[in-house]
Amino acid sequence: MNLFRTIEAQFVKTYGCQVVAIGALALLSACGGQRTAEPNAAFSSMPPQAAPLESETQSFSGNRANYIISKLSGAYVVTDLVSNDHVAVVKNKKQLRFADVTVNLEIGDLVNQISFEQWRSIVDLYIAFFNRVPDADGLQYWLTKLKSGMSVEQIANSFYSSAIYFSAQTGYTAEMSNQDFVRIIYKNVLGRTGDLAPPDADVNYWAGELARGVSKGSMIQSMLNSARTFYADPTWKFVPQLLDGKLQAAQYFAINHGLTYVRSEDSILKTVAIAAAVLPGSITNALSLMPVKDITSNLASPPNVENLAGVCVPTAEKSWARGHLDEVYLWYKEIVEVPINAQLSPAEYFDSLLVRSKDKFSFTSPQATIDDYFQSGTSYSYGYSLQRQGTRLRVLFVEPGSPADRAGIKRGTTIAAVDNTSLAQPANEVQYAALYPSKVETHSFTIVEAGSSVSRTISMQSASLAKAPVLESKVLTDNGKKIGYLVFNDHIRTAEQALINSITSFREAGIDELVLDVRYNGGGYLYIADELAAMIGGSRTAGNIFETLIYNDKRPEMSAGATSWFYAYDTKNRPLPWLNLSRVFVLTSSRTCSASESIINGLSPFMDVILIGENTCGKPYGFRQTNNCGLAYFAIEFSGVNAVGKGDYVNGFAPKCQVPDDLEHLLGDMNEKRLAAAISYAKTGQCPAATSIYSPALPPVGPSERDPYPWRSIRLVQ
């Protein structure tokens, strides 16, 4: 039987793959390569495999380099960088098919199920027998065989049979001597040819091993293990460097990217070229030959949306946003896919994916705006906070030293007109921009002071203002009792020292009661809430749990380490002052949100927390700020529970005493209705009679201006 028939018989016996007498390229194609019946040369002895079902493959019209693939939990995001308007979320597929290559979506998980030494042994065989990097489909086939019990020696024999069958391409023949076999291994695997060719003594040693019955697979592994010990040798260190380089190139091509060329010619020529481009100590040239641009992505790694971070083109930004939600969003399982629309900005696309039946809080904002506010409390404004009451747009409070303060505007003032246009109805876009400027601007305002019907016109220039997180802090006296009154408006970084100063002064004054006014506090940093709660609770809360955060089921490690205890020290490691009160009065409204609600919830198991005002907003959820391409993304990541596991307050906390806001009196005025109710309760132990405390009915609630600072209503983990 001639050579052709001998090898044909071996292939038919082993694989049931009938070889026919056709051209060299077709011979290479007939029994190797990709998991498809379509011919594809692979330089391996893997038989043809059934192609994935059509339902298991998702096709894309362009070359692989025109796309970015990001691995999510249970899905892949494929971003088209050319059309700039297409992002596909791929689920329940085994393969992605591009114009030039296929991407094997199973190889990564398979590699993670076996040891490094196991998959390296198969890559070594590809280099030894074919001097090429493996394609993903072929590598998957042999790793599956190895995992199911086939030995490396058996696989090496199959590779050798294929190598001698394709002798014109590999240099192996059935008649070659053991010495010739060893020399090819030295050339292919160790790069030792020409002046660096092995001496006859080395060749004869390994040939003798083969003659004694050592299998070719075992001999190759022994040679490689020996070569890998020469890292410190100044003469031969290039050999292990070359081996490592080819291994790395193979890992990038077949495992990290799961690549198999579609065209037979490419599978022969290009995988050989990639291996040949490896230099000792450098795979840069080899990587440049791979048909991908997102070279650092890795399908075998854990899901990582950060592969798309910083790619600031709209489609990539949308892909990142989709991936970010898939990883961190509390309700990621309930996201309804939204087709990518070229008219949707990344922020709009993010918003379109949110589960609005549960989530009214997630948002995006320019990163610079957010950073300025939460780090220093600065933003462009006139220094007032407004709320609509029917046809009147009224001032809730004024920042000290602000343009509004200098113009004589006070709590309760009505802004009747801006730039001579009436504000009896909710502001239009032009009016809104004048009321809430984003830069230094000058506008005219018609104002009516509380308790007056006389209007006057003023001019104000906006400025970049630093918020006063503690707006008011003083000790009131009622019937000989000292009452600390604290207006706390923002959980921002600069609040820490202001709160410490206030609590210290209350402690030194020996207050009997504390009224914490957070009616306008939408939240912010959770650590600020923890510090304030610890200072209020003192010894009652020391050493206890303030809040435990609960993340989605993809992040058990986050939930495991997410218990926050009542702090004993501030961020500069200084002991926090304590009040050691048995109760605290908290003035609330629908604007009392998030981190402010954490104070209420965290203190409730340890002391009497008496709410006066209106229901709080109901946000037991929080975020971490995540930035990408100039946008700050805030996706709900966690819910919070207190020391006794309570955290289900999505409808807000109901007050003990329902008292409407009183804009006819300044904050801190003992006649202001909510403060007066707290003082009355402190004396009598009950809510004051409605007839004595309630203001006349306010105008019915109607359309209002949108919140200019929606990002204030958050619970933020730093």
DSSP string, 240-308: HHHHHHHHHHHIIIIIIS-EEESSHHHHHHHHHHHHHT-BTTB-HHHHHTSS-S-TT--TTSPP-GGGG
- Cα(294)–Cα(699) distance, integer angstroms: 59
Judged by DSSP in three states, 1 sits in: coil
Q: What's the residue count for the chain?
A: 718
- 261 Cβ neighbours under 8 A, 6+ residues apart: 40, 100, 101, 135, 267, 270, 271
Residues of the chain with pLDDT below 70 are: 1-50, 73, 84-87, 304, 307, 339-342, 373, 376-377, 690-718
Rounded CA separation 317/336 (Å): 18
pLDDT digits (tens, 9 = 90+) for 595-641: 999 999 999 999 999 999 999 999 999 888 999 999 999 999 999 99
Cα–Cα distance for residue pair 20/4, rounded to 1 Å: 10
Report the C-alpha gap between 287 and 275 in whole angstroms.
Answer: 10
Q: How far apart are CA 210 and CA 683, in angstroms?
A: 100
pLDDT of residue 405: 97
- What pLDDT, on the 0 to 100 scale, is given for residue 580? 85
Q: For residue 47, what pLDDT is reported?
A: 58
Distance from C-alpha of 443 to C-alpha of 457, rounded to nearest angstrom: 10
Cα-Cα-Cα-Cα torsion 17, 23, 25, 26, nearest 10 degrees, comes to -30
Q: Taking a C-beta distance cutoff of 8 angstroms, is the pair 252, 290 a contact? A: yes
Distance CA 339, CA 320 (A): 15
**The predicted structure's pLDDT at residue 426:** 94
Task: List, in order of start, the domains of the chain with CATH numbers.
Answer: 94-288 (no CATH), 311-357 (no CATH), 378-466 (2.30.42.10), 470-698+709-717 (3.90.226.10)
d(Cα 381, Cα 435) in Å, to the nearest integer?
Answer: 8
How far apart are the C-alpha atoms of 596 and 594, rounded to whole Å? 5
CB 138 within 8 A of CB 130: no
What's the pLDDT score for residue 301?
81
- 659: closest CA among 600, 592, 610, 614? 614
CA distances from 708 to 259, 473, 682 (A): 49, 26, 36
Residue showing tokens 């790619």: 311
In the numeric block, the tokens 């190598």 are attached to 163
pLDDT single digits (tens) 555-576: 888 877 789 999 999 999 999 9
What tokens appear for 365 in the block?
Answer: 């904002």
